[in-house]
Structure 1
């Protein structure tokens, strides 16, 4: 039993588990932000543009409901309501596009914040020395160079 508890403790305190828990909490908080952004800022202008169109009411009637003389429903009929599905798809696309814009903005800000300094690596001393030796040998072997007429030291 002690081994089981020790194994569970190791599992629960492991870095990945804690990172996952933090991700879930931050994701839930971020979900609220995106939900308010979509419902309160983005959707109202779209609703204004589509005034009079109620997607939730859209349906394909396969068989109409039967009513008795008093207007009571005898047979509800067969109706495929696709309006709510369309609303859900549109909501999903709005949320996905909004998240895309937010993540793109965050990535561009992060790229700007990164160090834009000189990222070149200095040439190691041994490579510099080999380069100088090569250049000196070229100069010594060049017939037009005054150093090529001098005897080696």
Structure 2
């Protein structure tokens, strides 16, 4: 059983999947940083200084000034966090679309380029010469 597991875990597809998950996690952190540190402040500036991460509706408890205080006071609907995550998702979907589109374009270029015919072997050259000599007779 251990041998079978080792064969399964070391298959090429399993290693490729593990690498994809690791790169995907790093890519997710990168996109989070782009959204939270670059895009959301710009969007907030355009919309008049609105900070989406601190938008909430307090459903229960005493009114609070910040999201953290509202959550400790009671039930809170943090719709600003949802807006941030929605923008994050849209950016990831757009970037993945562009990556797939570029990969498809590269595949089309490779398929469109015809391969040059292989040079004839020595045997083929000799047979061609013999054929030509026999044809002259």
The alpha-carbon distance between structure 1 residues 50 and 80, as it changes in their structure 2 partners (threshold 3 A), is: farther
Q: Which has the higher helix share?
A: 2
Instruction: Give the structure with higher Rg (CA).
Output: 1
Distance 2:26 2:82 in 1: 23
Higher relative contact order (CA 8 A, sep 6+): 2
Q: Is the 8 A contact 1:60 1:79 kept in 2?
A: yes
Q: Which has the higher strand share?
A: 1
With normalisation by structure 1, the TM-score equals 0.53
The alpha-carbon distance between structure 1 residues 14 and 43, as it changes in their structure 2 partners (threshold 3 A), is: same
- Which of 54, 58, 61 is the matching residue for 1:60? 58
Distance 1:90 1:82 in 2: 12
Equivalenced residues, count: 103
Q: Is the 8 A contact 1:12 1:18 kept in 2?
A: yes
With normalisation by structure 2, the TM-score equals 0.58
Distance 1:50 1:19 in 2: 43
Q: Which runs of 5+ in 1 are unaligned?
A: 66-77, 120-153
1:111-148 per-residue CA deviation (whole Å, 9 max, x = no partner) reads 332327389xxxxxxxxxxxxxxxxxxxxxxxxxxxxx
Q: Which runs of 5+ in 2 are unaligned?
A: 64-72, 115-137
Give the CA RMSD over aligned residues. 3.0
The alpha-carbon distance between structure 1 residues 59 and 14, as it changes in their structure 2 partners (threshold 3 A), is: same
